[in-house]
Amino acid sequence: MTPVITVAIAATFEETRLLATHGTREVLRARLMPPSRAHRWAAPVLLEGLALWCQQPLRVVLYAESPALSSGSQLVDDLGFGRCTLFYEVELLEHVGGGAERGGFDELRRGCRGERP
């Protein structure tokens, strides 16, 4: 069985961090502009493109610094639940992290492994 591709996204007011893993291997890491500066369909289109590239649906873990950031990403529905599409399924988690961890990728690695912060 092919390992699942997991994409962890941390949306903050300063930036958006993205980490994609295939099993235990890191396949993509990015620091992008904050969600407030991106087009409203940027995250869904990015995830759809990645799913098409990998030829399999993605498991997405979304950490958001505020409810406004998560709803603005178009990755959650009107009730605040993660969207489930043909290309990806989103699990919404509370954003934690502070101090040295804030701004790094350790929190995202734990999310890719399925660990709760």
Domains and CATH numbers, the chain: 5-113 (3.30.420.60)
Helix or strand or coil: residue 42? Answer: helix
pTM, full prediction? 0.83
Supply the pLDDT for residue 98: 44
CB–CB of 4/51 below 8 Å?
no
Give the confidence band of 48 by pLDDT, cuts at 50, 70, 90: very high
Give the confidence band of 6 by pLDDT, cuts at 50, 70, 90: very high
pLDDT digits (tens, 9 = 90+) for 66-80: 887 777 788 988 888
The owner of tokens 């101090």 is 99
Beta bridge partners of 10: 17, 63
The pairing of beta strand 58-64 with beta strand 25-32? unpaired
Task: Report the C-alpha gap between 39 and 58 in whole angstroms.
Answer: 21
Supply the pLDDT for residue 66: 80
CB–CB of 54/2 below 8 Å?
no
